[in-house]
Structure 1
Amino acid sequence: MSLTPTGRLLRTDTGSDLLLSRTFRASAEDVWASVTESDRTARWFGPWEGEAAPGRTIKVQMAYEEQAPWCEMRIDACEPPRRLALSMTDESGNWRLELTLSEADGSTELRLVHHLAGEDGIGEIGPGWEYYLDMLMAAREGSPQPDFADYYPSMKDYFEALPTG
């Protein structure tokens, strides 16, 4: 299966932002629940546990990664149902993520921004986020889960060649 990548790369004062989005025929509150409630995140990313609040750290299971590891994720900002900012550090480096939701005319756009300190590894990071956002779409629609092999390595060159602007 050939999928078309959607990510864009924007240069910032502190590095680059990788931006991806998806649109849902649903309210912002419903999409918000899909990205913040543990039983719903388990369907497309993995469950989480802990006391969720800005400044707090939760444990998230990356259920669709090899060995389904648990990692700590800090909630940097939480403004339901519009904005969620998270950060984590693992063996791959520092991850700073931001999800924003905007609703209009019965649809909600979810924008995922991965704030990058550098662009090393973008050929792996970009396809991974395309996959996870399509996993979210499939979980919400009740359709079959996508296969990561359809995203990587086929999308690697696209992300490595992204122009900044």
Structure 2
Amino acid sequence: MTPTPTGRLLATATGSDLRMTRRFKAAIEDVWAGITEPERTARWFAHWSGEGGAGTTAKLTLTHEEGQPQSDLTIIACEPPRRLEVEAVDEYGRWHLEAHLAEADGETTLTFVHHLDPDTDASTTGPGWEYYLDRLTAVISGGPEPSFDDYYPGQAAYYKGLTAEEP
């Protein structure tokens, strides 16, 4: 399988955002559960523990990374079932992330945004998010799980060549 990279780099007042979109033939509540319920997030990305809700901090365990690294995850905004904004800091940097959900005609659209720090390398970050979002798609649809080797380093050149578009 050779997945096609989908990310776009958008200029912002403070730098740039990496944006990706996925569409699901599922109700918005199902996709929301897939990105917020610990048992479900563990199937595609990470398990979290603690109290959920805006202004709280949870413990995040990356279930699909070697050594299952942990970090604190601050929940900035939680507006079920439409918007989630979180931030984590680990040895690789700051991860300021948002998920926006919209439902129309039996389909839910997830717009994922990584607010990039100036020193964040999109050529490694982009393929990683493509992989994780495709894992989420597989979990929700019941399809085959992707292999990280299909994303990195194969998509690195695409992300290295992106330039920020004006909004």
Partner of 1:79: 79
Is 1:149 matched up with 2:149? yes
Shift of 1:75: 0.1
TM-score normalised per structure 2: 0.96
Contact 1:16–1:119 (Cα < 8 Å) also in 2: no
Cα offsets for 1:106-145 (capped at 9, x unmatched): 1000011000121541100000000000000111122221
Does residue 1:134 correspond to 2:137, yes or no? no
The percentage of aligned residue pairs carrying the same residue is 52
SS in 2 for 1:61: strand
Matching of residue 111 in structure 1 with residue 120 in structure 2: no
TM-score where L is the length of structure 1? 0.97
Q: Offset at 1:56?
A: 0.5
Partner secondary structure for residue 44 of structure 2: coil
Deviating more after overlay: 60-69 vs 5-14? 60-69
Q: State the match for 1:56 in structure 2.
A: 56
The one-letter code matched in structure 1 to 2:21 is: S
SS in 1 for 2:43: coil
Hey, what's the Cα distance between the residues in 2 that align with 1:24 and 1:144? 15
How do 1:13-24 and structure 2 match up within 5 A? 13-24=13-24
Counterpart residue type for residue 145 of structure 1: E
Where structure 1 has 5 or more consecutive residues not aligned to the other structure, the ranges are none
SS at match of 1:6: coil
Kept after mapping to 2: 8 A contact 1:126/1:156: yes
What amino acid does structure 2 have at the position aligned with 1:138? A
Question: In structure 2, how many angstroms separate the alpha carbons of the residues matched to 1:13 and 1:46?
Answer: 30
Paired letter, 1:23:
R
RMSD, aligned CA: 1.0
Q: Is the 8 A contact 2:83 2:100 kept in 1?
A: yes
Residue identity in the other structure for 1:9: L
Shift, 1:162, TM fit? 0.8
Structure 2: which 5+ residue stretches go unaligned?
A: none
Cα displacement (A) at 1:34: 0.5
Which residue of structure 1 lines up, in the alignment, with residue 7 of structure 2? Answer: 7
Report the alpha carbon displacement of residue 164 of structure 1 after superposing the two structures with TM.
Answer: 1.5
What is the number of equivalent residue pairs in this alignment?
165
